[in-house]
Amino acid sequence: MNGCAELVEKEHPCLSVRAQCELLEVSRSTLDYEVVCESAEDLKIKRIMDEIYLRDPCLGTRKIVIVLARDHSMVVNRKRVRRLRGEMGLWTIFRGPRTSVANSTHLKFPYLLRERVVTAANQVWCSDITYVPMPRGNAFLCAVMDWKSRKVLGWAVSNTMDVALCLAALGMALKSGVVPEIFNTDQGSQFTSQEWVQTLQSLGMEISMDGKGRWMDNVFIERLWRSVKHEDIYLHEYGTMAELETGLARWMKHYNHWRPHAALGGLTPAQAHAQKEPVAEASEALQKAA
């Protein structure tokens, strides 16, 4: 109902502001509310904590406070660190007792890749979401990657971290007309939602999900986040969503089609993805030719 506050006319000839608020069922205090942009200091702390998380996702708030003071001369208390990390959607990875019960309305699927040998492109795709620091708040990036070739098949950015973001990235990936055998994600609410699960199942994909707290189960796309942030996002500090999308489009093209990948024997992800024979064999042939 807060949107109705815009209908209140402060100079109405007949109805007082209070009377209008009562008729519209809005709080009088909402009329004086002004959106407050995030402080430059909070944005700086978030960026540094994001870099710390990429380096070691196992640090808790106590150790982050120490690292901020030791390496960046920033005195920040635990309460503030906890609040900012919550806004960023970052959670410490640790092994502990099972203290929570999964939401019964969210479907969970087993991890199918632990002993599976992936030999060619389009056998397995994976997806994940990461936080992107912006001057006036948070943005989120979702990508869909081919497990074997490391090629980014689709991506999308948004200022909200919901399933629509993930479906947009998936839609870009599916434009190739290819559907993988298995699709792997973490157990985030976007990927356990009914809309996401039904979309994958309707396309005939097997669904695989990382174990809880097991970021290594989706390590290839986690490595992508480190690359895109250190090589593009942190360097350019995009000010708007349009600038972010343009910059990411440029970087993704550079990553897929120009930069050689050591794990692929010097091939680019796009070259490896286009190979008809297994990528490992193509890499060996390239090394012999060199």
- Residues 44, 166, single domain; the answer is no
- Residues 150, 65, single domain; the answer is no
Contacts of 56 (CB under 8 A, 6+ apart): none
- Residues 130, 246, single domain; the answer is yes
How many domains does the structure of the chain reveal? Answer: 3
Per-residue confidence band for 285, with pLDDT thresholds at 50, 70 and 90: very low
Note the pLDDT of residue 15.
81
User: Which tens digits make up the pLDDT trace of 130-182?
Assistant: 988 887 778 899 999 999 999 999 999 998 888 999 999 999 999 989 999 99
* Short-list 182, 167, 185, 166, CA closest to 107: 185
Residue 258 above 50 pLDDT? yes
Out of 47-56, 108-117, 227-236, 270-279, pick the least confident. 270-279
Provide the percentage of residues in the chain whose pLDDT is more than 70: 82
Note the pLDDT of residue 36.
67
Note the pLDDT of residue 26.
78
- Residues 81, 130, single domain; the answer is no
- Residues 6, 79, single domain; the answer is no
- Residues 47, 145, single domain; the answer is no
Per-residue confidence band for 276, with pLDDT thresholds at 50, 70 and 90: low
Within 10 A of 227 (CB to CB), how many other CB atoms are there?
Answer: 13
Residue 105 lies in a domain: no
Residue 210 lies in a domain: yes
- Residues 83, 176, single domain; the answer is no
Residue 118 lies in a domain: no
Residue 152 lies in a domain: yes
Top mean pLDDT of 19-23, 213-217, 225-229 is at: 225-229
Residue 251 above 90 pLDDT? yes
- Residues 18, 45, single domain; the answer is no
Residue 181 host element (H or E): none
- SS3 of the chain: helix, strand, coil, percent, to 5: 50, 10, 40
| Pairing mode of beta strands 206-209, 182-185 | parallel
Q: Residue 54 is encoded by which pair of tokens?
A: 């990429």
- Residues 76, 26, single domain; the answer is no
- Domain encompassing residue 18: 2-32
- Residues 58, 139, single domain; the answer is no
Out of 26-30, 103-107, 122-126, 152-156, pick the least confident. 103-107
- pLDDT, average across residues 107-127: 89
Residue 60 above 80 pLDDT? yes
Per-residue confidence band for 270, with pLDDT thresholds at 50, 70 and 90: very high
What pTM did the predictor assign?
0.67
